[in-house]
Every structure is written in structure tokens, then in C-alpha cells.
């Protein structure tokens, strides 16, 4: 019995050490600016081909807590929810309506989403006809809270699709346009919570710096890909801003539309297979928000590789590496450049 107890003690002591070592590791990790940079922004990996971009992110200032509790903000999309968290920090409590990997083009709000809007002190939507379902949601909730549209003032790429008369809605694929969204968020939060002006201003400014670093890192990675290989075929037409900013050509899309709900004809598929062959496109990209079935079939017909997890209109699950906006852009850049290389 005595020996057994001693043995038991020794085990406890060992696990005590293990806990201490883990705690020290955690403290060191928290002290590392690359880890604490953006509350969950993936750490830059030094591995050039398989990891993230080489991205040094300056940490955001913590700012002051709100004396009467965090500002309750309801947001329609995960990408915008992340931007609001970056700007608001501990001053805001963000409720996001659209789940990870869900398609904003084809979303049916549930009764709990009406409750989320009702409970919010501010509502932030995306706009550009992408989250039109939010209009009914806000109306049905009867909320008096101010509603801000994050894309206000963002210069869009023109679209001949009459569904999107304000232009292509996928503007987050250009970090410079996202800087306009961040400025809108800081202004909106300050309007509702003037006491947080300094916090929102300082965090927004620091995050703008992270976006500029992201932009530079994407350019540095894309430049390693020969110009003639910068050809994109994606599931739906979501990457025009990325193509425009970083010098890619969108050769075609499996669903020939800015909207994932558009019909695809056999003739469209045959035409795209021919185009992929003629242009020498080495890979096509399915996306996290739609089933890869059709893109898979097309890749098989065209005899090219398929990348089935490009993050397009929605963030990924926590831990996916694409659970923040900057993480999404890093993940996609690496997927694209490595698949086309």
C-alpha cells in the first residue's frame, strides 16, 4: 500500500511538472507577437511551399473595455464578423448569423436569427445584394438598432448581371477594399458607442496595417508563379477582385454566374472543358460553400487537378486556418499558387 501511494505521488508530481511546462509554453506563446497578433490569426509558417504566407502581423492594441458590458453587435456574415471583432476587440460581443462554410447566396434565416437581431445594439450587414435575406430579417425583428452596411463607399467591379446592379459583391478578395470596410466598421461602432472612439480608432488603424502586410505578402507569393500560369477556373464567379489585384485571369467558372444558384447547362460544361484545354489551365477550384460534385465532374472531363476547398464566400470552421479573414486570404493564396505552379 505504502509503495502504491508513493508511486501515486510520483505520478502526480510528474503530471504537475507537465502542467507547469504546458503553462510556461502557453505563456511564451501568448507573449509571441505572431501568435497574439490578431486573436486567432494563424501564425506565419516559415515553410515556403506548404505553410501560410510569410506574414508578420503587428499585434492590435487591446483598448479599453466598455463600462456597461460589451456592445452587442449582430453581423450577417462570418467574414464581416471577423472584421468587427478585429476593430472592436473586447468592447464588442459579436453574433454572426451565417455559419462557417455556409453560402450567403442561398441562406434561409431561422427564428433564432431574428432573436439575434432583436437582441443587438447594432446590426452590420454586407450589402451589394449578397445578403438580401438580411433585409427581411431586420424588418421582421422590428429592431430600432442602427443598421450599417459594411460595403458603403467600396468601389466595385462592374457586373452585367442585373441581380447585382451595384457590381460584383465579392469585394473582400481585395484587402485594399476591405480597408474601406474596416473604416466603415470603426465609424459605425463609434456612432453607437462614442466612449469607445479611441479603442476603435487605434485597433482599426493597426488592423489596416495588418491588411497592408497581407496585401504585400500575397503579391510576394504570386510573383513566384509564372504569369502564363495565373489562370483561374473557380466554382462560381467569386475571384474577380483577387484576379484584378494580383494579376490573374479568370478563364471561366463552373457555374457561369456571380451567384451560386445559377443554372449550368451541358453546353456550358462542354465549352469550359474546351477552354481549360485550350488555355492549358492545370487545376480548377471548388469551394467550401458548395458541393464539389459539378466541379469534380468537370475536372475529370478536362483531365485536370481539382482543389476542393478554396474558401470563397464564407470563413472556415475554427482551426481550419481560414477562420479569420486574413487566414482565409492566406489559405487561398497558398492553395492557388501551389496548384497552378
Point out which residues bind Zn ion (CB under 5 A).
Answer: 238, 313
- Rounded Cα distance between 141 and 195, Å, is 27
Specify the residue, 131 or 313, whose C-beta has the smaller distance to Zn ion: 313
Enter the C-alpha cell of residue 16.
504537475
Q: Closest distance between Zn ion and the C-beta of residue 241, in Å?
A: 11
Specify the residue, 193 or 259, whose C-beta has the smaller distance to Zn ion: 259
> Which residues, other chains included, contact 105 with Cβ-Cβ below 8 Å and sequence gap of 6+?
130, 236, 259, 260, 261, 313
Q: Closest distance between Zn ion and the C-beta of residue 98, in Å?
A: 12
Specify the residue, 137 or 238, whose C-beta has the smaller distance to Zn ion: 238
Q: Closest distance between Zn ion and the C-beta of residue 105, in Å?
A: 5
Q: Which residues pair with 72 in a beta bridge?
A: 93
- Rounded Cα distance between 197 and 165, Å, is 34
Helix (H, G, I), strand (E, B) or coil at 256: coil
Q: Closest distance between Zn ion and the C-beta of residue 313, in Å?
A: 4
Q: Closest distance between Zn ion and the C-beta of residue 157, in Å?
A: 13
Helices then strands, counting H and E runs in the chain, come out as 11, 8
- Rounded Cα distance between 322 and 109, Å, is 23
Specify the residue, 37 or 328, whose C-beta has the smaller distance to Zn ion: 328
- Rounded Cα distance between 211 and 239, Å, is 18
Specify the residue, 162 or 228, whose C-beta has the smaller distance to Zn ion: 162
Specify the residue, 103 or 193, whose C-beta has the smaller distance to Zn ion: 103
Q: Closest distance between Zn ion and the C-beta of residue 239, in Å?
A: 10
- Rounded Cα distance between 116 and 113, Å, is 5
Amino acid at each position: 500500500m505504502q509503495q502504491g501511494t508513493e508511486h501515486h505521488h510520483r505520478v502526480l508530481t510528474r503530471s504537475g511538472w507537465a502542467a507547469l511546462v504546458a503553462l510556461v509554453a502557453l505563456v511564451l506563446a501568448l507573449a509571441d507577437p505572431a501568435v497574439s497578433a490578431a486573436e486567432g490569426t494563424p501564425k506565419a509558417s516559415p515553410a515556403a511551399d506548404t505553410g501560410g504566407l510569410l506574414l508578420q502581423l503587428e499585434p492590435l492594441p487591446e483598448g479599453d473595455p466598455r463600462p456597461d458590458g460589451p456592445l452587442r453587435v449582430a453581423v450577417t456574415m462570418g467574414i464581416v464578423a471577423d472584421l468587427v471583432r478585429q476593430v472592436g476587440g473586447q468592447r464588442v460581443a459579436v453574433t454572426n448569423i451565417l455559419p462557417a462554410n455556409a453560402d450567403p447566396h442561398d441562406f434561409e434565416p431561422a427564428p433564432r436569427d431574428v432573436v439575434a437581431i432583436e437582441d443587438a445594439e447594432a446590426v452590420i450587414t454586407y450589402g451589394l445584394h449578397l445578403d438580401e435575406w438580411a433585409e427581411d430579417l431586420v424588418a421582421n425583428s422590428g429592431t430600432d438598432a442602427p443598421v450599417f452596411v459594411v460595403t458603403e463607399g467600396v468601389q466595385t467591379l462592374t457586373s452585367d448581371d442585373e441581380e447585382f446592379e451595384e457590381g460584383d459583391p465579392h469585394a473582400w478578395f481585395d484587402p485594399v477594399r476591405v480597408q474601406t470596410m474596416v473604416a466603415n466598421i470603426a465609424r459605425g461602432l463609434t456612432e453607437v458607442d462614442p466612449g469607445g472612439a479611441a479603442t476603435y480608432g487605434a485597433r482599426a488603424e493597426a488592423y489596416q496595417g495588418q491588411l497592408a502586410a497581407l496585401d504585400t505578402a500575397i503579391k510576394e507569393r504570386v510573383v513566384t508563379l509564372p504569369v502564363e500560369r495565373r489562370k483561374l477556373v473557380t466554382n462560381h464567379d467569386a475571384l474577380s477582385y483577387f484576379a484584378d489585384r494580383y494579376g490573374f485571369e479568370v478563364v471561366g467558372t463552373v457555374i457561369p454566374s456571380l451567384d451560386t444558384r445559377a443554372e449550368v447547362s451541358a453546353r456550358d460544361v462542354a465549352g469550359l472543358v474546351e477552354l481549360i484545354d485550350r488555355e492549358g489551365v492545370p487545376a480548377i477550384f471548388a469551394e467550401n460553400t458548395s458541393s464539389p460534385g459539378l466541379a469534380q465532374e468537370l475536372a475529370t472531363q478536362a483531365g485536370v487537378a481539382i482543389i476542393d476547398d478554396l474558401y470563397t464566400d464564407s470563413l472556415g470552421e475554427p482551426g481550419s486556418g481560414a477562420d479569420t479573414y486574413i487566414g482565409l486570404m492566406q489559405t487561398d493564396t497558398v492553395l492557388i499558387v501551389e496548384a497552378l505552379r
